[in-house]
Amino acid sequence: MAQVGVGYTKIASLSGAVGLGTVPAGATSVLLQAETKDVRLRFDDTAPTATDGFKLVAGTPFAWAGDFSKVQAIETSASATLHVTWFKN
């Protein structure tokens, strides 16, 4: 089944752990990509730190589906940006 884009968010304030923002209606998966600097993610409603969590390497996209409310992100060094593209089936 083809996926259809239903939203986009650019998160530029990652000095502290943050969620992915407002989930668009019908979203079933997300594509994440860090720009310029790496980002750490946790998927269990626990805040990541700059040294602990799933490391999303800048420029490498990562697709995920699950409970979006439990995802948190933080930059590994200053000035990271996280691009979030939402999809539905």
| Measured distance CA(69)–CA(20) in Å, rounded | 8
Predicted pLDDT at 74: 98
- CATH number (2.40.170.20, 3.40.640.10, 2.60.120.770, 2.40.50.100) of 4-88 reads 2.60.120.770
Tell me the two tokens of residue 5. 């884009």
pLDDT digits (tens, 9 = 90+) for 3-21: 999 999 999 999 999 999 9
Is 67:5 a contact under the CB 8 Å cutoff?
no
Q: What is each CA distance from 10 to 7, 20, 51, 65, 86, in whole angstroms?
A: 10, 9, 22, 18, 11
Task: Kindly report the average pLDDT of the chain as a whole number.
Answer: 96
Is 80:39 a contact under the CB 8 Å cutoff?
yes
pLDDT digits (tens, 9 = 90+) for 23-55: 999 999 999 999 999 999 999 999 999 999 999
- The residues spanned by each domain of the chain are 4-88
Predicted pLDDT at 2: 86
